[in-house]
């Protein structure tokens, strides 16, 4: 008889072979067995409504039949070639049609890779070295990106604080850190430092939205100081709108990075810019000194490309983003109604397509202000939601197009239970 491992057994096996028992991404205390539509199941058969959706890529839900059909059609034709393929070229064309700043793109396998190359590209183009980023901004796992992502101690701006062991002190000297949503701080730093290659920003920083005029203000400052503006749209690309944050906020960066939904659930990301900037990937145009070497075994592989192409095709259909935003608005209202009735201070922070609750009365405008007055309330809230069949990260909720009215009603019941659990403490 085939032995089926329980979740507890899988956790024991993971602890034996994986540092901290996990892949480094999410709570290792749950082992997901499968996903379908808006739902996932763990290895014990427990069913959840999935508002994590792979940390964003599964915008259409799990196993969308049209994406599956496209992938299954490609598989017998080849899974990867380390050479140009027509599907990757088609996907590049679709991205360029959608994203305002992109005249050309380069593919990589992960968002962190795309962000790393975007930083390197900005330095190659400007021949400057410093990068200005924002405290709390997430840009992958490169040494520069791991500066002041989630600092546990507050230091004076613009000092950069490494969030990881193994990063040389010299990296901090090349990174300036400013508070998000503070144009005066950025302006002062650019006045003081004439060697800044780029400002790198999540246009929606984690879930904290830009204040009106903030992104345009960054654009204007970059123009004034001949600094490149990089939008990290790994999360917001094809989520906030079909053209991403650039479309939603009406501000065009010099370089952007894309990932998550772009690959339809497969490992694929990209960076894009004007042909003038992207020429640094072409040694014949810029010579040895200006050339930025970039390659990757799985970059632009055809399976990920067809999944991305079909995903983008579906997202272009009439009413798609209206549906996504309506779902997100309903999920926000469910939580606001329950918390308001209970008299629990809270704020919805983010966009209808990506948000969460902070248990606070304060305005959440940057890393230091976006926090819970009582963090234990957030723990109770999310633990209870998980126990009631809601699967989400403790600081972010991703709506998907697969969410149904029945899912919303189950979520309402779970939220009411979570609010009661807070009140019972």
Residue at token pair 């749209």: 233
Residue pLDDT, tens place only, 111-145 = 999 999 999 999 999 999 999 999 999 999 999 99
Q: What is the pLDDT of residue 4?
A: 75
Q: What SS3 state is found at 131?
A: strand
Domains of the chain are 65-315 (3.40.640.10), 318-425 (3.90.1150.10)
Q: How far apart are CA 294 and CA 289, in angstroms?
A: 14
**Known active-site residue 381:** no
Low-confidence residues of the chain: pLDDT under 50: none
Helix 320-341 to helix 302-315 angle (10° resolution) is 80
Q: What is the pLDDT of residue 1?
A: 54
What is the predicted pLDDT for the residue at 285?
97
Q: Which of 50, 182, 232, 407 is catalytic?
A: 232
Given the residues 260, 279, 310, 396, the one annotated as active site:
260
Candidate list 138, 214, 321, 367, residue with the active-site label: 138
Judge whether 198 and 132 are in contact, CB under 8 Å.
yes
Sign of CA dihedral 240, 204, 147, 200: positive
Q: Is 138 a catalytic residue?
A: yes
Q: Is 232 a catalytic residue?
A: yes
Tell me how far apart the alpha carbons of residues 336 and 342 are, in angstroms, rounded to a whole number. 10
Q: Are 306 and 64 in contact (CB under 8 A)?
A: no
Provide DSSP, 310-353: HHHHHHTSTTHHHHHHHHHHHHHHHHHHHHHHTT---EEEEETT
Tracing tokens 């590209």 back to the chain, one arrives at 121
Buried b (16+ CB within 10 A) or exposed e, 247-264: bbbebbbbbbbbbbbbbb
Within 8 A by CB and 6+ apart from 207, the residues are 349, 350, 351, 354, 355, 356, 370, 395, 396
């Amino acid at each position: 008889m085939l032995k089926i491992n329980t979740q507890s057994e899988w956790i024991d096996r993971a602890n034996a072979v994986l540092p901290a028992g996990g892949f480094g991404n999410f709570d290792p205390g749950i082992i997901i067995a499968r996903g379908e539509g808006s739902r996932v199941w763990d290895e014990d058969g427990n069913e959840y409504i999935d508002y994590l959706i792979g940390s964003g890529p599964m915008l259409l839900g799990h196993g969308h039949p049209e994406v599956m059909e496209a992938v299954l059609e490609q598989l017998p034709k080849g899974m990867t070639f380390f050479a140009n393929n027509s599907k990757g070229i088609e996907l590049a064309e679709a991205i360029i049609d959608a994203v305002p700043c992109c005249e050309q793109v380069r593919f990589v396998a992960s968002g962190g890779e795309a962000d790393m190359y975007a930083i390197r590209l900005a330095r190659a183009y400007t021949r400057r070295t410093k990068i200005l980023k924002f405290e709390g901004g997430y840009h992958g796992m490169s040494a520069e990106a791991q500066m002041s992502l989630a600092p546990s101690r507050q230091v004076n701006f613009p000092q950069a604080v490494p969030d990881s062991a193994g990063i040389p002190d010299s990296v901090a000297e090349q990174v300036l850190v400013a508070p998000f949503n503070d144009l005066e701080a950025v302006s002062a730093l650019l006045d003081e430092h004439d060697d800044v290659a780029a400002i790198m920003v999540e246009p929606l920083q984690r879930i904290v939205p830009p204040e009106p005029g903030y992104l345009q203000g960054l654009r204007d400052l970059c123009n004034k100081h001949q600094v490149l503006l990089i939008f990290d749209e790994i999360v917001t690309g094809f989520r906030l709108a079909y053209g991403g944050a650039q479309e939603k906020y009406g501000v065009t960066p010099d370089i952007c990075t894309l990932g998550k939904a772009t690959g339809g659930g497969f490992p694929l990301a990209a960076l894009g810019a004007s042909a003038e900037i992207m020429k640094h990937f072409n040694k014949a145009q810029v010579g040895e000194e200006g050339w930025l070497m970039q390659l990757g075994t799985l970059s632009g592989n055809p399976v990920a490309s067809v999944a991305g192409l079909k995903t983008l095709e579906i997202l272009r259909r009439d009413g798609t983003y209206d549906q996504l935003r309506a779902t997100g608005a309903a999920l926000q209202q469910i939580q606001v109604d329950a918390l308001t009735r209970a008299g629990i201070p809270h704020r919805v922070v983010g966009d209808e397509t990506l948000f969460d609750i902070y248990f606070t009365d304060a305005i959440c405008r940057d890393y230091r202000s976006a926090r819970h007055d009582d963090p234990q309330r957030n723990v109770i809230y999310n633990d209870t939601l998980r126990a009631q069949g809601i699967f989400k990260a403790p600081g972010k909720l991703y709506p998907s197009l697969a969410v149904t009215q029945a899912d919303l009603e189950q979520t309402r019941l779970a939220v009411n239970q979570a609010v009661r659990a807070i009140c019972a403490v």
